[in-house]
Amino acid sequence: MESRFQVPRYTYNDYKNWKEDWELVDGYPFQMLPSPTPRHNLAIMNFIYQGKDALKKNKDCDCLLFSELDWKISEETVVRPDMMIICGSTTNEYLEFPPVLVLEIISPSSIKKDRVIKFELYREQGVKYYLLADYNKKTVEVFELVDNYYKQVDKNVFHIDKDCEINFDYDEIWK
């Protein structure tokens, strides 16, 4: 049976004019909920502080840390990771190439999108490290891209670039 209607698909031009916070995957919009809870926000901030400190210690490092920056993968896919680390620079108002590391803080409302949709999207795009942090369980799952597949690893030190190493103290994140 043929459907009488077609679900609309959107592009980056539509996305950039929306007033609320959204992400766009294959033309389908996903609304981001109101601001994160205090524990969610504190976890993000702690990752950012530790990440910035680690990057400063690498004198020849050409990598940057961003939070809540749009990553435009295509005209129909734009995501906004909680935190990402890129090597090199971007001249646009959004990122156009895969970050080396992406962190998503899992919340009850985002768990399916983070564990399924973004997991596969980041793998397809070649993100070397994908971290899923759960502030309720106080855990961090680390996935490393090996032969185009994510392998779960027990790791807190990441070789971001030839001149960059970053480490996180997960116990400090949850304080």
Topology given in CATH for the domain delimited by 36-173: tt1808, chain A (3.90.1570)
pLDDT digit string, tens, across residues 146-164? 999 999 999 999 999 888 9
Cα–Cα distance, 4 to 23 (Å, whole number)? 27
pLDDT at 2: 62
Looking at residue 1, its pLDDT comes to 53
DSSP 114: I
Q: Quick check: pTM over 0.85?
A: yes
Determine the length of the chain: 175
Q: Is the pLDDT higher at 32 or at 116?
A: 116
User: Within the chain, where are the H helices?
Assistant: 12-15, 38-57, 111-112, 118-125, 170-173
Residue 17 φ then ψ, to 5°: -100, -5
Residue 135 has pLDDT above 60, yes or no: yes
| pLDDT digits 0-9 by tens, 69-116 | 999 999 999 999 999 999 988 888 999 999 999 999 998 888 899 999
Edge-to-edge strand ranges of the sheet holding 83-87 = 63-66, 83-87, 101-106, 129-134, 139-146, 149-153
For 90, the token pair is 């971007």
What band does 16 get if pLDDT is binned at 50, 70 and 90? very high
CA atoms within 13 A on the CB side of 72: 15
Asked if pLDDT for residue 122 goes beyond 90, the answer is yes
pLDDT at position 162 is 86
- Three-class SS state of 65: strand
Q: CB–CB of 102/145 below 8 Å?
A: no
